[in-house]
Chains A and B, each alone.
Chain A
Amino acid sequence: MLKSTLKSWSRKAALATAMVLGVSSLAQAHPMWLLPHEYNLSGEKPEWITVDASASHTIFSPDKALGLDRISIFTPEGGKQRLGSYFKGHRRSVFDLEIDQPGTWKMELKRPTVYFTFYTNKRGAKKRIFADKQEAQAQLPKGAEDVVTKQFNVSTVAYITWQAPDEKVLELTGKGLEIAGPTHPSDVVAGDEVNFQFFVDGQPAKDVEIELTPHNTKYRNDRMMQKLKTDSEGMLSFTPEIVGPWYLTAKVDHKRQSERADSESSLLYMTFDAQLP
């Protein structure tokens, strides 16, 4: 019973991810985001913040609600906070969170690992199935060509700071694609240069593909998205000129394969606030 429930859950999750992820390219994936309405708090008492969670191409207009059962909330003291109840609508999910420890908090929504197998069928049409290399063996139609299986690791993060920012939640775990300072994510100011360093498995990651988009894309003609890459030290440098929330997407192709996939990519999404100077 448990097994079948789990199976159906993971199948649902995979489907949901597939819907969100769309096809393989970063440009076409439905980017998922966590949008806090406050990033910096100054009160003397614990304070509640409210956060929207959705996936959309229009930044930040909700489109597809995200399940939040797997969200992780990391506290400044190094612990984890449980998320209480949350609302999941059709277009967005919403949760409130009590910030009761001074310092910087991290919220992260990680998708279960997704496997896509792409192929060309005998009529020459490009197709894909949600299956890893082994599962695909049984599912691929006869005559399938150009078969390639890709693995995607996807997560989205946002940071909140009460009182002074600190570094605990920014410590590297050494696993997968991660972001770190020197610019603290709660310390981004419009007009000031920002430097974020990216790591893969604890090592500086060069050539990570970055897209940066300021909020409110639906209220302007020019999307104003910047495409950048990290340098040889894994550093991303840019100057946000627009005040307000920004959306960062980072994608890296790992040079490795496994029994389940021919290639593996990680996508890391982050929402941050460019503050008034």
Chain B
Amino acid sequence: MRVPAGFAAGVCLLVALVQPVQAQEDALQISFSLPEIKTGQYQRPYTAVWIETSRGKAVKTLAVWHGDKKWLKDLRRWWRKTGRYQEGDIDGATGATRGPGDYQLVWDGTDSKGNAVAPGEYQLVLEASREHGSRSLMKQKFTLPDSSTHYRVKAGKELGAVDVIQP
């Protein structure tokens, strides 16, 4: 869903905090949440956030939060598109699983090797998979470069609503 940037600024604190800086540094600002789920068997979800071309080729992993790699394949799309190839350096994006809360990520417009990508159509993909729980997969297409753009993706079972901003 595309909403007017002005409206976006009103609802999203992130916009107010972020300085309108040069193009690539913060080509894409992503804020999302992992919802609190009331269950006796809560395990933190495996979560991945990454960029793909509009045709579904992985460009760069922004975050992958996981435990034992035996279950990394349960991030089915991320594993298939990029995880299994161990492309580029994703140490900076890798971390332990995280609990319910709000999270912010930024994409600087580069690929897994750190090179700036060509202008064009891309998509942001978020995937979360939880033991004893469900899997959520979200996608948002966007154009690079673009400005004053705000997309909002509806919440799913394992991922809260996502705000995507191109300042």
Report A's interface with B, CB cutoff 8 A. 40-45, 47, 161, 163-165, 187, 189, 275-277
Contact = CB atoms under 8 A, between A and B. Distances in A.
Nearest to B66: A42
A243 to B, nearest CB: 10
Interface in B68-84: 68-73, 76-77, 79-80, 83-84
B86 A42 contact: no
A42 B69 contact: yes
A276 B76 contact: yes
A3 B80 CA distance: 50
A164 B70 CA distance: 14
Interface string B48-88: 00000000000000000000111111001101100111100
B84 A163 contact: yes
A276 B75 CA distance: 10
Contacts of B83: 42
Contact of A42 (B77, B79, B135, B137): B79
B70 A189 contact: no
Interface SS, A side: loop
A109 to B, nearest CB: 26
A57 B49 CA distance: 42
The 9 closest A-B pairs by CB, nearest first: A43-B70, A42-B73, A42-B72, A164-B84, A276-B76, A44-B69, A164-B85, A163-B84, A40-B73
Contacts of A165: 84
A40 B80 CA distance: 9
Contact of A43 (B69, B76, B80): B69
Contact of A40 (B68, B79, B85, B86): B79
Interface of B: 68-73, 76-77, 79-80, 83-86, 135, 137
Contacts of A164: 84-86
Most chain A beta-carbon contacts within 10 A, residue among B76, B83, B86, B137: B76
Contacts of A42: 69-73, 79, 83-84
Contacts of A187: 80
Nearest to A277: B77
17 contacts: A40-B80, A42-B69, A42-B73, A43-B70, A43-B72, A44-B69, A45-B70, A47-B70, A163-B84, A163-B86, A164-B84, A164-B85, A164-B86, A275-B76, A276-B76, A276-B77, A277-B77
Contacts of B137: 276-277
A275 B69 CA distance: 19
B127 to A, nearest CB: 10
Given A40-B80, A44-B70, A276-B137, 4 more contacts: A42-B84, A43-B69, A189-B80, A277-B137
A275 B85 CA distance: 17
Contacts of B80: 40, 187, 189, 275
A47 B83 CA distance: 18
Contacts of A163: 84, 86
A161 B83 CA distance: 13
Nearest to B73: A42
Nearest to B68: A43
Nearest to A38: B73
A100 B40 CA distance: 35
Contacts of B76: 275-276
Contacts of B79: 40, 42
A163 B83 CA distance: 8
A47 B135 CA distance: 23
A41 B73 contact: yes
A99 to B, nearest CB: 12
A242 to B, nearest CB: 15
Nearest to A45: B70
